[in-house]
Amino acid sequence: MNAPSRAAEQAAIVANPATVVEPAALEAFVARAWDEHIVPALTEYIRVPAKSPMFDAQWAEHGHIERVVQDAARWAEGRGVAGLELEVVRLPGRTPVIFFEVPATRGAGAGSGTVLLYGHLDKQPEFSGWRSGLGPWTPVYADGLLYGRGGADDGYAIYAAVTAIEALDRLGTARPRCVGLIETSEESGSVDLPAYIDALKPRLGDIALVVCLDSGAGNYEQLWLTSSLRGLVSGVLRVEILTEGIHSGDAGGLVPSSFRILRQLLDRLEDAASGRLLPASLHCEIPATRVAQARATAAILGDAVWQRFPWACGADGGAALPTTTDPVQALLNRTWRPALAVTGVEGMPEIGNAGNVLRPYTAFKLSLRLPPLVDGHQAALALQKLLEDNAPYNARVSFQPEGRAGAFGATGWNAPELAPWLAQALNAASQAHYGAPVGFIGQGGTIPLMSMLAAGFPRAQMMICGVLGPGSNAHGPNEFLHVPYAKKLTAAVAQVIAACP
């Protein structure tokens, strides 16, 4: 359809807005768009190693982020959505963002709120362990699953967001004004996003609803709303004890190993037996509503909460056990309690090249997940002090948190109370497209945008959702996008947008 015809189509919607969404027609349109347009676009997107700046310091020179941004922008503009204006916004020294806006198709007085749709195009690094025939930059579409890095986290977001808007317009269903914000530094803690939020705030408008498509799902049988997100402090802990490696037979027993010193430092932070984080400042009181929601979600998911992980001892846990097999506590552990992981090591040779040498240093990349109500920057500073002060054996110890000066760490997010209209719209959309009520689940990951928007738009309602259900394995090997779920999610998002007052 040419541009004048699309303009006439939009004018007709404004003049005669439909007030009732027809779920079957909506789902059919969206499913066709996924099959014919989105899956092919995401297949090409997966091929591009558009790693986030934290993992590709030369991202600008390599051009991979630029390519996925340009591809997504051309795709969105090519859909012919009437009135869509799109710009690739660039601030000096920062990764680009895509900003688009589409005028409302409601008549005057039908509500002035704006819907903000968010996603990101940058990716995590390759990781190892991909099954034969699969790979991070090798898209494979089989049995409804699209394998490859970034398709589910979170390349699909801009394509689903534009399709949701297009579906409503093509079906003649009135909707509010919509804007889109697609960033390219999310996997690096959204370090560039605050500057763009400040720069674009006058153009965002009065945000009534935020739709974030970068979250997860408890199963693939219903719509899941994210009720909370953890914060994150990541950084490098480095221990130096020698200026060069020394024969272990010569120095062993006299020079303490850098690994042992590092282990002592981690004992300040974590109980090695239980995994509990020791500093009280890293914990917060869990709201009673979230405990109640965890109980309700545990009743739906049961032992799948902990059995779904790829345990080396067997899919059902086998002889080994997680920290808890109580589904309620398992949910709370991964959403409302702090947790430490070592995600990288430096200073250690591969086993095949490991000589009898006392190594001069050891460095660990630490990833500390924080409860939603703990301030990320303050936690980063507290962690730095805890690890660096009074170093054992007077070793040279440093902890460098990631982020920009004055903004280390990322603060989590706790959802505001649902407005009655949104609660009703979410449940109606879940019933219409999944045949089941909406579920509520906290997520252990971090979306820095949410705490930023909560501060900047305190009255906005939040629809945080996504396609990262069981087995999807974002950041790890064999990541996949569950296309049948994504189709229904796109239709559900469109239905909720239409209900936004």
Distance of CA 333 to the CA centre of its chain: 18
What average pLDDT score do residues 237-253 get? 96
Angle at 198 between CA 67 and CA 367, to 5 degrees: 65
Threshold 0.85, pTM exceeds: yes
For 286-375, where are the alpha helices, taking DSSP H only? 288-301, 304-307, 327-333
> Which positions ≥6 away from 331 have C-beta within 8 Å?
294, 297, 298, 305, 441, 442
For the cut 70, the answer to whether the pLDDT of residue 2 exceeds it is no
- In angstroms, rounded to a whole number, what is the distance separating the alpha carbons of residues 441 and 104? 31
- In angstroms, rounded to a whole number, what is the distance separating the alpha carbons of residues 225 and 439? 6
Helix axes 156-170, 3-15, angle to 10 degrees: 60
Q: What's the pLDDT at 365?
A: 97
For the cut 80, the answer to whether the pLDDT of residue 372 exceeds it is yes
Q: Across-strand partners of 232?
A: 369, 410
For the cut 80, the answer to whether the pLDDT of residue 213 exceeds it is yes
> Which positions ≥6 away from 150 have C-beta within 8 Å?
45, 46, 50, 121, 123, 124, 479
Read off φ and ψ for residue 332, nearest 5 degrees. Answer: -70, -35
User: 């699909």: which residue's tokens?
Assistant: 156
Q: What's the pLDDT at 33?
A: 98
DSSP 413: E
Q: Across-strand partners of 154?
A: none
Q: What's the pLDDT at 230?
A: 97
pLDDT-based confidence at 18, cuts 50/70/90?
A: low
- In angstroms, rounded to a whole number, what is the distance separating the alpha carbons of residues 397 and 362? 10
Closest by alpha carbon to 87, among 101, 104, 67?
101
More confident residue, 457 or 38: 38
DSSP notation for 62-111? H-HHHHHHHHHHHHHHHT--TT-EEEEE--TTS--EEEEEE---SPTTS-
Q: What's the pLDDT at 449?
A: 82
pLDDT-based confidence at 8, cuts 50/70/90?
A: low
What average pLDDT score do residues 208-220 get? 96
Sign of torsion, CA 322 324 328 330? negative
How far, in Å, are 24, 235, 239, 276, 340 from residue 269 at the CA level? 53, 14, 16, 9, 9
- Tell me the pLDDT tens digit for each residue of 300-352: 999 999 998 888 876 554 555 789 999 999 999 999 999 999 999 999 999 99
- In angstroms, rounded to a whole number, what is the distance separating the alpha carbons of residues 25 and 52? 38
DSSP notation for 38-50? IHHHHHHHHTS--
CATH fold group of domain 3-227+412-499: Aminopeptidase (3.40.630)
Contact 418, 209 (CB under 8 A): no
Closest by alpha carbon to 159, among 253, 52, 26, 39?
39
123 backbone φψ class: left, alpha, beta (φ>0; ψ -120 to 50): beta
Structure tokens belonging to residue 457: 């738009």
Read off φ and ψ for residue 280, nearest 5 degrees. Answer: -60, -30
CATH number of 231-284+336-408: 3.30.70.360
- Tell me the pLDDT tens digit for each residue of 137-177: 999 999 999 999 999 999 999 999 999 999 999 999 999 99
Domain range annotation of the chain: 3-227+412-499, 231-284+336-408
For residue 402, the number of C-alpha atoms closer than 13 Å in the C-beta half-sphere is 20
Do 3-227+412-499 and 231-284+336-408 share a fold?
A: no
